[in-house]
Amino acid sequence: MGREYCYKFKTNIIKVKENNAYAHPLIEKYGFKPVQQEYENETGLKAYYWNESWAKTIKIGPQSVVAKWLKKNVENIYKAEKKKKEETGEPSKWYTEIRESGYDFDDEGNLIENKAFLSGLEGQLCVMATGEMRGVLFINMSGCVEFYDSKTLDSSATEDIEALVKAGVIYKKRLKVGK
């Protein structure tokens, strides 16, 4: 079983007062907003509910661990989809979206660090209010990948993490990983 450090919010910062819609949790003072989930209610109209988490949009620099991981994955997807395009003559949805995103690739399919890449990526710094991972801070990238370990957060959301540590609202805790 691996063990890594994560950041965790102090309990009082994410405490929600039951049956009091006017009492906002302290976490909202640090730029975190409640995450709302859309659903269709019994009348067929769109409605929303709080999904028991908060999030804050962050910019992730191109030299961070998260950006390097995503760069490698985009390159792998691009290479595979480029090969399919060459074989079939038809570009896939993935290939088209990657090309339209503004990224450039060299002849081997490696991402060129152009303006689109260097402008950085957007992600969300998130925390759950309930469940097994209650209070644990993580980076969410487009709802498809999450990063929890403190080293990754330190390098990818540096200013935000430093501000939360300085304010004394988060602390490092060991996170059990795997079986």
**Residue 129 Rama label (left phi>0; alpha psi -120 to 50; beta):** alpha
Contact 175, 7 (CB under 8 A): no
Contact 3, 175 (CB under 8 A): yes
Enter the pTM of the model: 0.79
Q: Which burial class, exposed, middle or buried, applies to 59 when counting CB atoms under 10 A from its CB (0-12, 13-18, 19+)?
A: middle
Q: Half-sphere exposure of 173 toward its Cβ, with a 13 Å CA cutoff?
A: 16
Residue 72 has pLDDT above 60, yes or no: yes
pLDDT in tens, 18-33: 876 667 899 999 999 9
Residue 1 has pLDDT above 60, yes or no: no
Q: Exposure string (b/e) for 128-144, b if CB count within 10 Å is 16 or more?
A: bbeeebebbbbbbbeee
pLDDT in tens, 93-147: 888 888 888 888 888 888 887 777 777 688 999 999 999 889 999 999 877 788 8
